[in-house]
Structure 1
Amino acid sequence: MPPRLFAFRASVFLALLALVSSPPLWAQAEPLTNKPERLEWFRDQGLGLFIHWSVDSQLGVIISHSLAGASDEYVERFYKELPQTFNPSHFDPDALARLARTAGFRYMVFTTKHHNGFAMWNTTTTPFSITHTPYARDLTSQLFTAFRAQGVAPGVYFSPDDFLWLHNHGKEIQRLVPEVQPSANPGLLALDQQQVTELMTHYGPVSAVFFDGEAKDLRNIVWKLQPDAVVTRGAIETPEQNVPGAPLPGAWEANMTMGTAWGYQPSDEHYKSVQDLLHILIQTRARGGNLLLNVGLKPDGSLPTEQEERLRTLGSWMFVNSDAIYGTRPWVVTNEENIWFTRSRDHNDLYAIFDPEDTAEPWKRGDARDFVLKTVRATPSTTIGILGQNDHIVEYRPNLSPRSTFEQKPDGLHIHVMRAQRLRDSDEWPYPSVIHLTNVEEAFTPPVVHTLSARQSSGEIELQGDWAGAEAPGARFGFDYRIITGEDTRSRLHGWQHLPQQPASHPGSYSATFHPDPQEQYEFRSVLLHPLLTLYGETVSASIH
């Protein structure tokens, strides 16, 4: 047994021994929580891989949720027949872990049990598990071992909801109503507690735990048995299928599908482009969060080709630009138009990520571009360059000098940079480029803009926002809106539209009235047109009052 795993199991044994005469872990009054230093570790990781996989991948339907509202015949066949045919003979955890490392993922979260109740590990709590299938091997153990070997920290997704338990106890299969919650069903809660204890004691160090449901009676088990684990959903903000419009305080994690489905969907799937995935990653990191990007394995255990292609292209970008993703925190503003910022924890390095929404004209090798950064001021020690290249040569073009230059002027830091590195056979690179600056300062303290509310009443939506900071003669304040059709980022294909703006030289509160189409859904953000740059508040949806 490896020394690290032996030491871990010994520490868990001692912890369990000490608890023999103690109250149950979930009943202890001691206020346990995520360790601050582990939250900082978590924030440093930047990019995690979410793996959704369960017994119903054989059907190619939505994971678990097809059971809600299903006929008795469907439910009985689901629970009886699917385990008999689940045999992921092409499952290669080592290959998947190598791909994850190549793609730039620093941690992984695996659906050990989704809402349907199927356990993807060798559990003693239920026969509805992977070890009671033709495959008959522990998938969780294999994944965790393979990912650790590649330096990718393994984590657990666990659903406290259990549709099989509800079905066996004569309860309607559904979620998020009081009568089916573990807190209202002692038997279900006891099952969850046993299963979480198994996962926290039999599989070595766990980096993160994602509770997709009631977590309050389960978190203490994690923090007692795995004190270095970070409980994500259930303890910190985990926006789903959406990136918040402004930074959230502390550690947070956006979880996002690569297409439209969490599990494997064999047809009619619409995948996000690599450009879209990079937009999401960059904007998440600029706002201080981690991106947990999902894949859904096929019933034979392999990864769909479309997902592998996107991960490999993501990996090529991360190989060049990961310094702008790992170990970074937000700059004083998230972005200046289509340039997004991240900054190293020690503040020595600033990354200006040129990420245009319009990729029709990619930045070609040998082309120079000029930018003005309003919020950045150079110092005598400042250096500048593009990540991945050396600023010395452009291959086959000896007459071109790719040297990066900068000049501080009253309106901002003027920089001149050229793409010199050849990353494809053609000269085109359709993905964001990262300008690396060292030893720079904040040019000024930007105003802080908030979207306070969007309240719908009597056919109108009253919008409230404010801004704080130094007076700004000539500034204007207003609101933007756009139509949405759901929670996924693909539902936000309509561009932002602008409501009339009003003079706002003085900080304070501002309001506007919007007349919606009753057939549409909207979201809103406040906007401040400052003389130096444009700043946005949080994105909010309308609430009815």
Structure 2
Amino acid sequence: MKRRTLIKGLATGLSSLYLSDLYAYSPLKSLSIPRMASGPFQPSWESLAQYQVPDWFRDAKFGIWAHWGPQCQPERGDWYARGMYQEGSDQYKYHIQKYGHPSKFGFKDVINEWKAENWQPEELVALYKKAGARYFMAMANHHDNFDLYDSKYHRWNATRLGPKKDIIGGWAKAAKKEGLPFGVTVHASHAWTWYEVAQRSDKSGPYAGVPYDGKLTKSDGGNSWWRGYDPQELYAQNHPLSKDSLDNGSMGRHWDWGNGASIPDKAYCENFLNRTVELIDKYGPELVYFDDSALPLWPISDAGLKIAAHLYNTSIKRHGKLEAALFCKVLNEQQRKCMIWDIERGQSNEIEPLPWQTDTCIGAWHYDRRLFDNKRYKSAKTVIHTLADVVSKNGNLLLNIPVRGDGSIDSEERAVVEQIAAWMQVNSEAIYGTRPWKVFGEGPAMESAVALNAQGFNEGKGKPFVAEDIRFTTKGKTLYAFLLGWPANNTALVKTLRASDQAGKVQQVSMLGAGALKFQQTPDGLTVQLPEQPPCKEAFVLKIEGAIA
């Protein structure tokens, strides 16, 4: 209740700040503002509630994501551009060893090191389609505020600096070649607070008191490689620090622009709006994910509402009907009617009335070499079990395969993708185009389900799945039962299909990849005699006819 009161106060009381901006964040001021698409959707929560999730997305169930940008260049894990400015942290120590002190070599200089020299988007997207992905998404920018596309509103972008390539353009072309809907993920709205660590300096040691590079301006460029570019367009740090900014853990409290977060000025919000509308207009994504609660910059700005309305109206003009999928996190009941609820690294514990998505990763969001060296990626088994669980509850799975700084994926990742592909070749019938049954499953893992926390983050906190754990999907009059392990004695028992229940009389049972099976429906459940050898690995699907009631 306190959080809602705080947000309401922000929404009604901060507009006056725009009359005297906190500082002149005004890159490329003279450019014209992009035209917003007209149509049935207006930039309000009431209007956005008209949204209906497109059937193609509900049928797709599985997408793959390239969460890739300059923070992958050091190969030291997620949030590198923040961690490198936190004195004493692992990434700070690594940065000093690899690059030098952040007062001399900041994240802007890491961008300059990033060349993406081995990036082959067509090969990777073809691999992901083989693995069963029915849509592909690529990161357009992260909290590091570096655009990975050709932007006339933001000079710090990948066509001018770093790899000097249109990363989003390349991904979009590859997805189109494979016939996959293409999506972008946008994370840059939080750069204002996220980069505040770059305003710091060391508290001890030989560089004590020497400022990091977060306050540099264009005039400091001299004869450096970045001469002519304003670091403030990237870092956006010519403003007072947020409350508790010196606490490394404060970013979570400031995520919703409450609890003392420094409030972005109007120019910053308008620049984010212009960049994102340009991204939608130039690359035509069918899916857009915002790494934000509700919508980006809400409630201090209506930029997110405007972008959502523009995306929906643009989709209608392109297709004659609304085909766009828009995602945000931490949505209330009203907001879930306006877009698709995304759960980060976690799953709902029930069948959701509206389609939703979980986004997760086989490693760190940004590439971390240590996970490869120590063989610590999620297994194909874990991914497949997550997919079955999510789909049984009316959800989709978006899986990130971390990309190395050079644009390639490593051999361990490729092996996981190939194993997913092998499983999908046998069992995808039970995934694509399905809908939830009257219950999502049965088994001991349900008894230890862990509640969602903030954005999600309940992944892997319950009991691991065993052979008695079963998940259900339906298609027409067919019921699919995913066995999340191979039962002892080659005999499966589906308790939910007891003869005494209202599940209907089972008429035929087969296993995908193995053919017809013998079965018996009793008061204890549906007993199925399985083949001597499993037809695949990780999870096994019974195809049951006559059980829909």
TM-score (norm 2): 0.65
Quote the Cα distance in structure 1 between the aligned partners of 2:411 and 2:240.
39
Aligned pair 1:231/2:326, yes or no? yes
Which residue does 2:168 correspond to in 1? 140
Structure 1 residues 187 and 238: alpha-carbon distance in aligned structure 2, compared to 1, 3 A threshold: same
Question: Which stretch shows the higher mean deviation, 61-70 or 409-418?
Answer: 61-70
Displacement after TM superposition at 1:187 (Å):
1.6
> Residue in 2 aligned with 1:387?
512
* TM-superposition CA deviations, 1:437-471 (whole Å, max 9, x none): 123234xxxxxxxxxxxxxxxxxxxxxxxxxxxxx
Measure, in 1, the Cα distance between the counterparts of 2:59 and 2:110: 40
Between 106-115 and 279-288, report the one with greater CA deviation: 279-288
Is 1:154 aligned to 2:182, yes or no?
Answer: yes
Render the CA deviation track for 1:517-543: whole Å, top value 9, x for unaligned.
Answer: xxxxxxxxxxxxxxxxxxxxxxxxxxx
Q: CA–CA distance in 2 between the matches of 1:115 and 1:258? A: 21
1:411-460 C-alpha deviation (Å, 9 max, x unpaired): 333322315576xxxxxx54211111123234xxxxxxxxxxxxxxxxxx
Q: Does 1:258 align with 2:362?
A: yes
- Distance in 1 between residues matched to 2:479 and 2:104, nearest whole Å: 57
Give distance in 1, aligned partners of 2:161 and 2:71.
13
Q: CA, structure 1 residues 133+416, in 2 after alignment: closer, same or farther (shift >3 Å)?
A: same
| Residue identity matched to 1:127 | R
Q: Distance in 2 between matches of 1:375 and 1:354?
A: 14
SS where residue 256 of structure 1 aligns? strand
Q: Which amino acid aligns with 2:134?
A: R
Residue 50 of structure 1 aligns with which residue? Answer: 65
Q: Does residue 1:374 correspond to 2:496, yes or no?
A: yes
1:353 corresponds to which of 478, 482, 495? 482
Q: d(CA) in 2 for partners of 1:257 and 1:101?
A: 17
SS at match of 1:322: helix
How far apart are the structure 2 equivalents of 1:28 and 1:381?
Answer: 49
Q: For 1:220 and 1:382, how far apart are their aligned partners in 2?
A: 48
Whichever residue aligns with residue 325 of structure 2, its letter is V
Given the superposition, is the C-alpha separation of residues 387 and 208 from structure 1 closer, same or farther in structure 2, using an over 3 Å criterion? Answer: farther
1:27/1:324 CA distance change after superposition, 3 Å: closer
Which residue identity lines up with residue 269 of structure 2 in the other structure? L
Q: For residue 88 of structure 1, what is the aligned residue in structure 2? A: 116
SS in 2 for 1:418: coil
Cα offsets for 1:367-412 (capped at 9, x unmatched)? 74242443366867832211123x3xxxxxxxxxxx4122333333
3-state SS in 2 of match to 1:238: strand
State the AA in 2 paired with 1:431.
Answer: E
Question: Residues 132 and 78 of structure 1: is their aligned pair in 2 closer, same or farther, counting only changes over 3 Å?
Answer: farther
1:170 aligns with 2:249: no
- Alpha carbons of 1:280 and 1:197: their partners in 2 closer, same or farther (altered >3 Å)? same
Are 1:440 and 2:468 matched, yes or no? no
Could you say what secondary structure the match of 1:248 adopts?
Answer: coil
- Give the aligned partner of residue 109 of structure 1: 137
In structure 2, do the counterparts of structure 1 residues 18 and 310 end up closer, same or farther at CA, with 3 Å as the change threshold?
closer
For 1:287, the aligned partner's letter is: K
**Aligned partners of 1:83 and 1:343: how far apart in 2?**
45
Measured against aligned partners, the alpha-carbon deviations of 1:71-126 in whole angstroms (never above 9, x if no partner) come to: 79627733431232221111011111111111111112211010000111011122
CA contact 2:140–2:149 (8 Å) conserved in 1: yes
Aligned 1:440-519 pairs, distance under 5 A: 440-442=547-549
Identity value in percent: 22
Question: Is residue 2:397 matched to residue 1:291?
Answer: yes
Deviation per CA, 1:24-80: give whole Å up to 9, x if none. x97578713573251x43222111112111112111233445426547962773343
Distance of aligned partners of 1:80 and 1:335 in 2 relative to their CA distance in 1, 3 Å threshold: closer
8 Å Cα contact 1:60/1:265 also seen in 2: yes
Structure 1: how far apart are the matches of 2:161 and 2:512? 49
Q: Does 2:324 correspond to 1:195?
A: no
- Give the direction of change, closer, same or farther, for the CA distance of 1:363–1:308 in structure 2 (3 Å limit): farther
Which residue type is aligned with residue 480 of structure 2?
Answer: Y
Contact 1:339 1:352 in 2 (8 A): no
CA apart distance, 1:334: 2.0
- The Cα of 1:333 is off from its aligned counterpart by 2.1
* Structure 1 residue 352, shift from structure 2 partner: 0.9
Residues 142-187 of structure 1 show CA distances to partners (whole Å, capped at 9, x for unaligned) of 1111112212211110012224655343354855162797974212
Q: Secondary structure at the match of 1:239?
A: strand
Contact 2:37 2:314 in 1 (8 A): no
Match of 2:211 in 1: none
Worse-superposed segment, 88-97 or 200-209 = 200-209
Contact 1:355 1:433 survives alignment (8 Å): yes
2:286 maps to which of 172, 196, 206:
206
Q: 1:271 to 1:412 in 2, by over 3 A?
A: same
Mind listing any 5+ residue stretches in structure 1 that lack a counterpart?
1-14, 357-361, 392-402, 423-428, 443-545
CA distance in 1, matches of 2:104, 2:328: 31
The one of 152, 155, 164 aligned to 1:127? 155
Q: Does 1:246 align with 2:377?
A: no
Q: Quick one: structure 1 residues 44 and 182, their matched pair in 2 at CA, closer, same or farther if it must change by over 3 Å?
A: farther
Separation in structure 1 between the aligned mates of residue 262 and residue 426 of structure 2, nearest angstrom: 46
Deviation at 1:245, TM superposition (A): 2.5
TM-score normalised per structure 1:
0.66
Number of aligned pairs?
397
Spell out, residue by residue over 1:4-23, the C-alpha distance to the aligned partner (whole angstroms, 9 max, x if none). Answer: xxxxxxxxxxx95975xx9x
Q: How does 1:263-278 map to 2 (within 5 A)?
A: 263-268=366-371, 270-278=376-384
Match of 1:465 in 2: none
| Greater fraction of residues in helix | 2
- Whether 2:162 is the aligned partner of 1:32: answer no
Mapped to 2, the partners of 1:169 and 1:419 lie a distance apart of 68
Distance 1:33 1:210, change over 3 A: farther
Deviation at 1:141, TM superposition (A): 0.9
Counterpart pick for 1:221 among 310, 334, 342: 310
Farther off after superposition, 172-181 or 264-273? 172-181
> Quick one: distance in 1 between partners of 2:420 and 2:256?
39
For 2:111 and 2:527, the matched residues in 1 are separated by: 62
Question: Relative to 1, partners in 2 of residues 1:296 and 1:253: Cα closer, same or farther, differing over 3 Å?
Answer: same
Is 1:406 the counterpart of 2:525? The answer is: no
TM-superposed CA distance for 1:246, in Å, is 2.4
Cα root mean square deviation, aligned: 3.2
